[in-house]
Amino acid sequence: MSGRNILAVAQVECLRLIRSRVTFTLLLLVPLLQVLLFGFAIRPEATSVSVAVAAPTPESATNVVKALREDRRFRLVGKVAAPGGAERTVRSGQALVGIEIPELRSFSNPRAPNVPVRIIVDATNPSLTTAAEARIEARYWRELAQQADAGGVGLKIERLYNPQGRADWTFLPALAGVTVMIAMIMLGSLAVSREREGGTWESLQSLPLGAGEVLVGKILPGTALGTLQGAIVLLIGAGLFDVPMRGSLIALVALLPLFAATHLAIGYAISARAATQLAALQGAVAFYLPAMLLSGFLYPFETLPRWAQLIGNAFPLSHFIRAAQGATLRGDAAATVLEHAWPMLIAVLAAAFAALVFRPRAQ
Amino acid sequence: MSTADPVIDVTGLSRSFGGRPAVRGISMRLGRGEVVGLVGANGGGKTTTLRMLAGLLHPTEGRGTVLGADVTRPSQANHKQIGYMTQSLALYPELTVAENLAFRARVLCGGDQAAQVAVVDNFALASVLSARVSELSGGWARRVQFAASVIHRPALLLLDEPTAGLDARTRQDMWGWIAGLAAGGSTILVSTHDLHEAERCPLIVHFRDGEAEGPFTPETFAQRSGAATLEAAIIAEAGR
């Protein structure tokens, strides 16, 4: 080992690192993105769980409403509804927790049936609602302890969609989207940069092919692969992990080609600006890292601050996760699942437009 | 080089990259079947000129036509009549020779089987048809690339250093193919650093610092510089 040789190699390596844009992305951009997202956006615990309340009369829910308003981690949805209204609100996806207060037995109403307060929880994402359940329960027993005459009707917690609170049921449908997103964005970004570095891109440019023809031709095979990949993940989820397929699986699978094509087009647009394959891959990482953090995959969407939710909604993955969890756990019908196609359609058109506007030219 | 019905007729073509001029005021008028060698030092503007004529780069200045089409607005129809062989190996390495040729044939001449058979015969490719391009030697790969560039019998063939790195036999073959295509009516521009090869061209254009002079016959160019050979003349020009 010669120290002089090592220094010579190190000096060259230093110069290459300093003069490479890739270093800038690796050392500055990606860490900055992570620091900003983890610092400002990621809150593992729900900061604002939506709660709907229903009671025979608004007055009978006064204490509950007051307690919920005092706790910043709950957000009351609408006014106090008639009995059954809270459950309907949860089932429609407008609230994560519903509180159905029964007619309570009291001195003035001694004949009221002795039924418990029902807490209906959308348990699609148990990491989001478990803490909320516990807080509501604790609050209830504390109130009860302070008001010995309130009558111990008790609480009955009903977890919808995922009664056992299985995290794998939450993650696996979403994972179908994540795997397709990562694979397709990589494939899209490499499709052109690999050709450019390999020397075939210039030749391709000299052929009588329109930019749109090249874009669509390059995206089509990947779209088929992405669809297959997503379908396999869903099948594994159902076969190995018993993920329930209660809704329209056909509609969900029908979303896969659009979802895959969207990320291929985004990858293609990234590659249009990337000089090398490595730079293209970094662009892909810079896209899918925030997508994973802000889409509800790693952390529940509802725990994100409003501004982060707005950004998160721009990622097609957020919509795919909602569609996937709807089609599997919640039992959403085809029309409901396919409602999530619109944001993806807009995204694929925008990405294709960007890819064509910034289309990579031969070097 | 004036002809009544020119294949290339351009005046004052210029191209800059980031404000730095790469080609300045190129004018050229070539007819059917002419073979012109583009010679000169690296960075002289040969490749940039070829790419402008191929429709890959828009000139920043100048006007004219290539195969009758506006050089500033290259069309898909025009691309069908141009063959462009790049310096780098522009074949898909994962694909076989047959698959590479079939792709070019589909895009350039509607999948014409006869065209594919013709290039396989003309370039003696039958023995490597099922081989992947990544498995070929450099010489065979360039031979396939040349075949792919002319599969549609282009009216204009632009060759960017087609013989670089090839052995003597393959070079000789390649110049034979160039002569054959020119005899068939194709107009051919060949960029080359091999000045012995450039002497095979009836005419040469000399590029230096983005400007072109010529065309000359190789002999005229040498005499003009007071040199005995084209190579000596180019070296003398570079030293000026």
pLDDT digits (tens, 9 = 90+) for B1-45: 445 689 999 999 999 988 888 889 989 999 999 999 998 888 888
Tell me which chain A residue has its CA closest to the CA of residue B47: A363
Position B49, amino acid: T
- Section A246-263 average pLDDT: 96
Q: A208 to chain B, minimum CA–CA distance in Å?
A: 4
Contact B89, B113 (CB under 8 A): no
Is A199's CB within 8 Å of B93's CB?
no
DSSP secondary structure string for all residues of B160-172: ESTTTT--HHHHH
Tell me the pLDDT tens digit for each residue of A176-199.
999 999 999 999 998 888 888 888
Which residues contact residue B124 at a Cβ distance below 8 angstroms, ignoring those fewer than 6 apart?
Answer: none
Write the CATH number for A72: 3.40.190
Contact B30, B3 (CB under 8 A): yes
Burial class (CB in 10 A: 0-12, 13-18, 19+), B187: buried
> Residue B108's closest CA among B53, B151, B63, B163?
B151
My answer on whether A101 and A135 are in the same domain is yes
Domain end point (choices A122, A143, A160): A160
Q: What's the confidence (pLDDT) of residue A362? A: 44
| Residue A98: alpha-carbon gap to chain centroid | 22
- Flag whether A30 is in a domain: no
My answer on whether A172 and A120 are in the same domain is no
Q: What's the confidence (pLDDT) of residue A134? A: 78
Specify the higher pLDDT residue, A150 or B139: B139
Contact A203, B79 (CB under 8 A): no
Q: Say yes or no to pLDDT of A314 above 50.
A: yes
Q: What's the confidence (pLDDT) of residue B149? A: 93
Specify the higher pLDDT residue, B239 or A227: A227
Q: Residue A106 — very low, low, confident or very high, per pLDDT cuts 50/70/90?
A: low
Name residue, tokens 């009369």: A57
DSSP assigned state of A150: G
Q: How many CB atoms lie within 10 A of CB B5?
A: 8
Tell me the pLDDT tens digit for each residue of A202-230.
888 889 888 888 888 999 999 999 999 99
Q: Residue B221 — very low, low, confident or very high, per pLDDT cuts 50/70/90?
A: confident
Specify the higher pLDDT residue, A87 or A107: A87
Q: What's the confidence (pLDDT) of residue B239? A: 67
Tell me the pLDDT tens digit for each residue of B170-188.
888 889 999 999 999 999 9
Contact A267, A218 (CB under 8 A): no
- Flag whether A353 is in a domain: yes
Considering only the beta carbons, identify the residue of B77, B79, B92 that sits closest to A206.
B79
Q: What's the confidence (pLDDT) of residue A336? A: 94
Burial class (CB in 10 A: 0-12, 13-18, 19+), B55: buried
- Flag whether A318 is in a domain: yes
My answer on whether A213 and A254 are in the same domain is yes
Please give the domain boundaries of chain B with CATH numbers for all domains. 1-43+66-73+156-240 (3.40.50.300), 89-153 (no CATH)
| Strand ranges (E), chain B | 8-17, 20-30, 35-40, 61-66, 69-70, 82-85, 156-160, 187-191, 203-208, 211-216
117-146 in B: which are within 8 Å (CB) of A? none
- Flag whether A183 is in a domain: yes
In the sheet with B156-160, reading across from the earlier edge strand, the strands are B82-85, B156-160, B187-191, B35-40, B203-208, B211-216
My answer on whether A80 and A218 are in the same domain is no
Tell me what the pLDDT averaged over chain A comes to: 86
B206 touches chain A (CB under 8 A): no
- Flag whether A292 is in a domain: yes
Tell me what the pLDDT averaged over chain B comes to: 88
Domain end point (choices A160, A190, A216): A160
Mutation target for A interface from B17, B75, B88: give the one with most A CBs within 10 A. B88
Nearest-angstrom CA–CA distance, B123 and A155: 85
Considering only the beta carbons, identify the residue of B78, B91, B107 that sits closest to A200.
B91
Q: What's the confidence (pLDDT) of residue A294? A: 92
My answer on whether A235 and A147 are in the same domain is no
DSSP secondary structure string for all residues of A259-270: HHHHHHHHHHHH
Instruction: Determine the structural domain holding residue A53 and report its residue range.
Output: 49-160
Q: Name the least confident of A128-132, A278-282, B211-215.
A: A128-132
Q: Which residues of A touch B107 (CB under 8 A)?
A: 207-209
Q: Which residues of A touch B90 (CB under 8 A)?
A: 199-200, 202-204
My answer on whether A258 and A313 are in the same domain is yes
My answer on whether A149 and A213 are in the same domain is no
Is B79's CB within 8 Å of A198's CB?
no
Q: What's the confidence (pLDDT) of residue A351? A: 85
CA distances for A68 relative to A82, A164, B160, angstroms: 18, 26, 75
My answer on whether A170 and A311 are in the same domain is yes
My answer on whether A305 and A209 are in the same domain is yes
Burial class (CB in 10 A: 0-12, 13-18, 19+), B42: exposed
- Flag whether A43 is in a domain: no
My answer on whether A320 and A225 are in the same domain is yes
For residue A39, the surrounding DSSP H or E stretch is none
Q: How many CB atoms lie within 10 A of CB A18?
A: 9
- Section A149-158 average pLDDT: 69
My answer on whether A55 and A118 are in the same domain is yes
Q: Residue A28 — very low, low, confident or very high, per pLDDT cuts 50/70/90?
A: confident
Count how many domains chain A has. 2
Tell me the pLDDT tens digit for each residue of A273-302.
887 888 888 889 889 999 999 998 988 888
My answer on whether A233 and A289 are in the same domain is yes
Considering only the beta carbons, identify the residue of A203, A209, A210 that sits closest to B86.
A203
Q: Which residues of A touch B56 (CB under 8 A)?
A: 202, 205-206, 361-362
**pLDDT more than 90, % of chain A:** 39
Q: Number of residue pairs across A and B with CB atoms under 8 Å?
A: 44
Which residues contact residue A105 at a Cβ distance below 8 angstroms, ignoring those fewer than 6 apart?
Answer: A111, A112, A113, A114, A151, A153
Domain end point (choices A120, A142, A160): A160
Q: What's the confidence (pLDDT) of residue A148? A: 47
